[in-house]
Structure formats: structure tokens, C-alpha cells
């Protein structure tokens, strides 16, 4: 295990990030944090960007309740019940919101990559679900080695409103839903995870 490290968290108001000491982390090559329990699924959000290149993200459900926050070079692990979910991911700067459609199976671990690209001098957040056989799937091992592992059950925002102003959260949900409907099949395929995309406990050590 590495020493405790500082990670950048997002305030519930979406206006400030506060450095906190994270109580749990994992060394590169230690994949034990990514082994799902037999009766549950794990959902891992991974951001490998450096601080100067990164965005801060928040993950929330259809009711606007925060599930996790994510800063630079961080892999946040969420324990989930098996089933179908619609989740939303938004960056602090309000540049982008994404809708995710997930089908999670017990005993499997699923990954979502968060990153940024430079377009016309602007840093634009992007999201890619890690689907079997995809480029994201092939790059997963390298990305995880660049991150510190944190756990959603330790996240200060967990179970609280994603934003103290509900109308701002709803606006993000509306924007993500509008993109989902208008952007076409290729766009939607990149925001979906199906049960077989998850890694089993025997596959996780390959990371």
C-alpha cells in the first residue's frame, strides 16, 4: 500500500475543489481493489490526466444524488447492486454532461474512463466506457497504473445532493438526455456497458 495521498475533491456546490487526505490507495500492479464481491458489482471511474490537464467530475443518479467525485489521476471504486442503471457524469466547469446506461452483473467489475482533449485551445472533457475489445479496454492496464485508488464509500458527497441548487443538476440531466437522443447510435454505443463488459475475478489479475 502507498502512503496516504492528497486527492482533489469537488465541492457539493460545484464551485471549489478541496484537497483531502484519502485513507485508501493501491500500489501500481495491485489489482485486489478491483475484484467484485460475489453478490455485487464494482463500477470504477478512471481519470489519468495530470492536474493541469484534468477536469473534476461528479457522478450522480437520476434523482440528482451524488455517488462519487473524481479528480486527476484517480480511480474511484463504487460498489453497486446488480441491475440496470442510468447515471450521469458532469464536469465542474459545466462544459459537458454525459448519460450512462449500464447493465451490471454480480461478480464483475466495470470501468469508465474520464479524460480531456484540447479543441481550439479549450480543454474539453470526454468519457469512454470500457467495452470488451475496444481501444479503451486495451489501454485499461496502463491507465490504472497511473492512478491512485479511492473508494466511493469514503467520498464526502456520497448520498447528498450533487448540487445545492437542484435546478442546476436538473439542467445537466436535461442536457445529457438531449445529447443522448440527438447524437445518434454511435454516440450512444460509447456510453453503454452491458453485463459481459465486466471483468470477472479471474480476469482482474490480468490488469
Domain residue limits at 9:
5-199
Calculate what percentage of the chain has a pLDDT beyond 70: 81
pLDDT (tens digit per residue) in 25-79: 444 457 899 999 999 999 999 987 765 556 789 999 999 999 999 888 899 999 9
- 206 part of a folded domain: no
Residue 154: all three cell numbers together: 469514503
- 100 part of a folded domain: yes
- 120 part of a folded domain: yes
Total count of domains within the chain: 1
pLDDT (tens digit per residue) in 159-200: 887 887 788 889 999 999 999 999 999 999 999 999 999 999
- 205 part of a folded domain: no
CA distance to 45, 152, 174, per residue, from 75 (Å): 6, 10, 27
- 93 part of a folded domain: yes
User: pTM to 2 decimals?
Assistant: 0.82
- 204 part of a folded domain: no
Mean pLDDT within 70-98: 90
- 128 part of a folded domain: yes
Compute the distance between CA of residue 200 and CA of residue 4 in angstroms, rounded to an integer. 28
SS3 content of the chain, % helix, strand, coil (to 5): 25, 40, 40
pLDDT of residue 125: 82
- 59 part of a folded domain: yes
Amino acid at each position: 500500500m502507498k502512503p496516504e495521498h492528497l486527492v482533489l475533491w469537488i465541492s457539493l456546490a460545484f464551485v471549489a475543489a478541496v484537497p483531502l487526505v484519502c485513507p485508501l490507495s493501491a500500489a501500481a500492479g495491485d489489482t485486489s481493489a478491483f475484484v467484485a464481491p460475489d453478490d455485487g458489482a464494482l463500477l470504477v471511474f478512471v481519470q489519468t490526466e495530470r492536474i493541469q490537464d484534468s477536469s473534476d467530475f461528479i457522478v450522480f443518479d437520476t434523482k440528482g444524488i451524488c455517488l462519487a467525485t473524481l479528480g486527476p489521476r484517480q480511480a474511484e471504486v463504487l460498489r453497486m447492486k446488480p441491475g440496470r442503471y442510468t447515471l450521469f457524469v458532469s464536469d465542474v466547469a459545466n462544459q459537458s454532461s454525459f448519460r450512462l446506461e449500464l447493465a451490471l452483473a454480480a461478480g464483475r467489475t466495470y470501468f469508465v474512463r474520464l479524460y480531456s482533449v484540447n479543441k481550439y485551445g479549450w480543454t474539453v472533457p470526454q468519457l469512454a466506457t470500457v467495452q470488451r475489445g475496444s481501444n479503451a479496454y486495451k489501454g485499461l492496464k496502463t491507465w490504472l497504473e497511473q492512478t491512485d485508488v479511492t473508494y466511493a464509500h469514503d467520498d464526502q458527497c456520497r448520498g447528498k445532493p450533487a448540487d445545492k441548487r437542484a435546478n442546476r443538476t436538473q439542467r445537466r440531466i436535461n442536457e445529457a438526455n438531449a445529447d443522448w437522443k440527438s447524437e445518434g447510435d454511435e454516440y450512444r454505443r460509447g456510453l453503454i456497458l452491458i453485463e459481459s463488459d465486466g471483468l470477472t475475478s479471474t480476469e482482474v489479475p490480468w490488469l
